[in-house]
Copies of this chain bind each other. A is one copy, B any other.
Amino acid sequence: MHRDDLKDLPGPELRRRARTGALRSHNAGLGDGYVKANVVILPAEHAFDFMRFCQRNPQPCPLLEVTDVGSPAVRFVAEDGDLRTDVPRYRVYERGELVDEPTDLLDRWTDDLVGFLLGCSGTFDSTLLANGVPLRYVEAGTSPPVYKTSIECVPAGRFRGPLVVSMRPMPADKVVRAVQVTSRFPMSHGAPVHVGDPRQIGIDDLAAVDYGEPCVVRPGDVPVFWACGVTPEAAAVAAQLDLFITHKSSHMFVGDRLTEETSLL
């Protein structure tokens, strides 16, 4: 099936295809309008610490759903989601080392695992575009530039680390609208964390990305920074847990809920 044909599929159908193995590629840009979630799975002994880390750092770690201990069932983001099968591709870390990238967790799921679904910025770009905010990296066909900042997250237990941000340069006269429309979606990282001079948040060179790809900044553009879902993932990898599982980058859990349903206003 061509990628263009996938574009029109609704969220539940995309999830079904991930479950059956029919869709193992990334789903960035697909399921527009449906909630997409970053996934973090870890042993119960660390789950309360990780949940407090998310509560204390809500912009990088917006909590959509937390499963019961041992249960892979997703009930809020999707009606009958299953964290063992519904992500197109997973990453498995042991003591901070990537050891596998399976397409399901049927053999790995144990009764002491807890799953977290965290909001991502997946559908937030289409909201910006719909509001007349140009996106330079979309124009260029590249992935967004992502940076570690000098802002430390509020730690909880073993989880700590820098706030990681994505950057979207835009004409100065679009900045206010960009703040307004993203503020409505706290479950998709919400409002920007910083507008303007990158050095104020510890980024010396916009060309030197930590993740993603550098992005053209046009004359008159202002860099605008949003909290990024890499933040909790990096904190969980750095915690060197015996086991930590996440989705592979851009291979997200696609929900039944519409992004609009998660807005507060």
Contacts and interface: CB of A to CB of B under 8 A. Distances in A.
Interface of A: 44, 47-48, 51-52, 55-56, 63, 65-66, 68-69, 75-76, 154, 156-157, 183-184, 186, 190-191, 264-265
Contacts of A51: 48, 51-52, 55
Interface of A is mostly: mixed
Contacts of A56: 65-66, 76
A66 B76 contact: no
Given A48-B47, A48-B48, A156-B68, A183 B265 contact: yes
Contacts of A48: 44, 47-48, 51, 69
Contacts of A52: 51, 66, 68
Contacts of A69: 48
Contacts of A156: 68
B66 A264 contact: no
12 contacts: A44-B48, A47-B48, A48-B69, A52-B66, A55-B63, A55-B66, A56-B66, A186-B186, A186-B264, A190-B264, A264-B264, A264-B265
Contacts of A265: 183-184, 264-265
A157 B71 CA distance: 12
Nearest to A184: B265
Nearest to A54: B55
Contacts of A76: 56, 154
A264 B183 contact: yes
Residue with the greatest number of chain B CB neighbours at <10 A, chosen from A48, A51, A68: A48
A34 to B, nearest CB: 21
Contacts of A75: 154
Given A56-B65, A186-B186, 20 more contacts: A44-B48, A47-B48, A48-B48, A48-B51, A48-B69, A51-B51, A51-B52, A55-B65, A55-B66, A56-B76, A68-B157, A75-B154, A76-B154, A183-B264, A184-B265, A186-B264, A190-B264, A264-B264, A264-B265, A265-B265
A184 B75 CA distance: 26
